[in-house]
Structure 1
Amino acid sequence: MDTVLTSCIASVPDTLLPIAAPAATPQQNRALQVRDLGVQPYEAAWAYQESVLADTLERKKQNRDAIERGESPVPTPNYLLLCEHPHVYTLGKSGKPEHLLLNEAGLAHHGATFHRINRGGDITYHGPGQLVGYPILDLDNFFTDIHRYLRVLEEAVILTLADFGVSAGRIAGLTGVWLDWKEGAPNPRKICAMGVKCSRWVTMHGFALNVNTDLSYFSHIIPCGIDDKAVASLQQELGRAVPLTEVAARLVPHLMALLRATPTEE
């Protein structure tokens, strides 16, 4: 089964429990290893994700064979890869090429590259000042519901932004995290895009949170195929730059709590 879709431990408020993972069963491994990859070309990070995904899928296959032989399975691992990319545009499987408004010369002029990839969603931008997270999770360890998983990612970002005094939420039918999201608000704008792929309940791709992002790069695409809403960054909202490490230090515990995960070393 392959599915592609658009987009110390903190406590989880009671109102979020329907989103958060249920308590783990003895068979579920909730250990989550966080790897900071630093600045990575998009192709390198994608290849690394594919490698980790393949290893996890192989482990799941070996476990199925072991169970058939009456042997005990080996727990599957879970990872959160954090990184920052040079300027790049990526187009998901359901996206439209015409949503990229630059030709090859235009891409070169702006120092950007372009890739068609195997996540869900349309076109988006990654670049300096953006915190990108790629969770590679075996959802059999948490819950087998891809829509719930997307809501968990959104909630982790919403809680992180609240830590910085920025109110964010969801817009019905539009995956991701938004500012001025309530119905009737004058200027709804996306601050975090999401797109994932799930193979045999193992996830890849993830979220891109605009922290100190140069938002002018979004003017060269129709972001996520949505042409009537703007984009935003944490820097724009606060009027100051925020270190990505500071944002990550807030986001990781929120995600851990929502997944009911525990940190682990290599």
Structure 2
Amino acid sequence: MNTPARTKRRPGLLMDIPVLDYREALELQHSLVDARHAGRLDRDVFILLEHPPVFTLGRRGGLENLTVPEEMLRRRGIPVVPIERGGNITYHGPGQAVGYPIVHLPSAGWKVVSFVEALEEIMIRTAADFGVSARRDGRNRGVWVNGKKLGSIGIAVRHGVSFHGFALNAVVDLEPFGWVNPCGLAGVEMTSLARETGKTLDMKAVRRSVLHHTAHVLGLDLQPVNRKP
């Protein structure tokens, strides 16, 4: 399946943030969703960032898929945060390109399933820019390389507005993924663009690629703004 890019672009806003604490990012998303729904914000927003180390639990929970003692995470200062997105437990950390599209789906003409496929397409095209052939897999949403998971997706929709999004492993430390059954899938190995290419990658180049494909696939003309548009 190949999700076509949208030829007609709508105005959108870009928040390109180097690193942001997960809870702060969640609060930012909630405020943007509320503003978009209330009409105080008249266009969609794409947030691109990286997170300090954190585990998040989706609506299905996932603490049962943590394979190390919670005390070990506390000693390392890694929080576990329950949230409202779909999916199970996952890890975020530096070197992972995280995209949060705050999109009013009805006005943009998106159905939830096609929107999720579009987010997968962004990661597939980004991986291809670095010589990695990623694809979808029937086992779980996201993108995969030779049976290993490269990027994850979990979204939520409130008042027709999407939030949460995708996480593409670029140069992230993969060790913490070994402390869970990623996305609730036992025996699944996570990978990264760096591991698949065997090269030292420039995270800035990965982020530029993500932004380029986000604009094309979602049909957004992204104008940079500060965190509070």
Q: Return the match for 1:141 from 107, 118, 129.
A: 107
Q: Which amino acid aligns with 1:215?
A: L
Structure 1 residue 217: Cα displacement: 0.3
Structure 1 residue 255: Cα displacement: 1.7
Structure 1 residue 263: Cα displacement: 2.4
Q: Return the match for 2:123 from 137, 157, 173.
A: 157
For the residue of structure 2 that corresponds to 1:212, the secondary structure is coil
Aligned identity (percent) is 35
For the residue of structure 1 that corresponds to 2:133, the secondary structure is coil
Deviations 1:161-201 (A, max 9, x none): 11111001011241000001xxxxxxx10010110001122
Name the CA distance, whole Å, in 2 between partners of 1:241 and 1:40.
24
Corresponding position: 1:116 with 2:82: yes
Structure 1 residue 94: Cα displacement: 1.3
Q: Which amino acid aligns with 1:217?
A: P
The structure with more radius of gyration: 1
Name the CA distance, whole Å, in 1 between partners of 2:102 and 2:172.
24
Name the CA distance, whole Å, in 1 between partners of 2:123 and 2:162.
18
The gaps in structure 2 that reach 5 residues or longer are: none
Q: Which amino acid aligns with 2:124?
A: I
* Alignment partner, residue 16 of structure 2: 36
Q: Which amino acid aligns with 2:110?
A: T
Q: Return the match for 1:224 from 168, 180, 183.
A: 183
For the residue of structure 1 that corresponds to 2:144, the secondary structure is strand
248-257 or 44-53: which moved more?
248-257
TM-score by length of 2: 0.91
Name the CA distance, whole Å, in 2 between partners of 1:176 and 1:146.
14
Q: Return the match for 1:208 from 161, 167, 174.
A: 167
Q: Return the match for 2:200 from 231, 241, 265.
A: 241
Task: Answer whether contact 1:42 1:85 (CA < 8 A) is retained.
Answer: yes
Q: Return the match for 2:94 from 118, 128, 144.
A: 128
* Alignment partner, residue 73 of structure 2: 107
> 1:265–1:105: structure 2 CA closer, same or farther, 3 Å change rule?
closer
> 1:22–1:246: structure 2 CA closer, same or farther, 3 Å change rule?
closer
Deviations 1:4-44 (A, max 9, x none): xxxxxxxxxxx84xx346666xxxx8212111121111111
* Alignment partner, residue 149 of structure 2: 190
TM-score by length of 1: 0.79
Corresponding position: 1:57 with 2:37: yes
Name the CA distance, whole Å, in 1 between partners of 2:29 and 2:95.
21
Q: Which amino acid aligns with 1:95?
A: G
Name the CA distance, whole Å, in 1 between partners of 2:208 and 2:7.
24
Corresponding position: 1:97 with 2:63: yes
Residue correspondences, number: 225
* Alignment partner, residue 69 of structure 1: none
Structure 1 residue 265: Cα displacement: 4.3
For the residue of structure 2 that corresponds to 1:241, the secondary structure is coil
Name the CA distance, whole Å, in 1 between partners of 2:35 and 2:145.
38
Name the CA distance, whole Å, in 2 between partners of 1:21 and 1:246.
21
* Alignment partner, residue 71 of structure 1: none
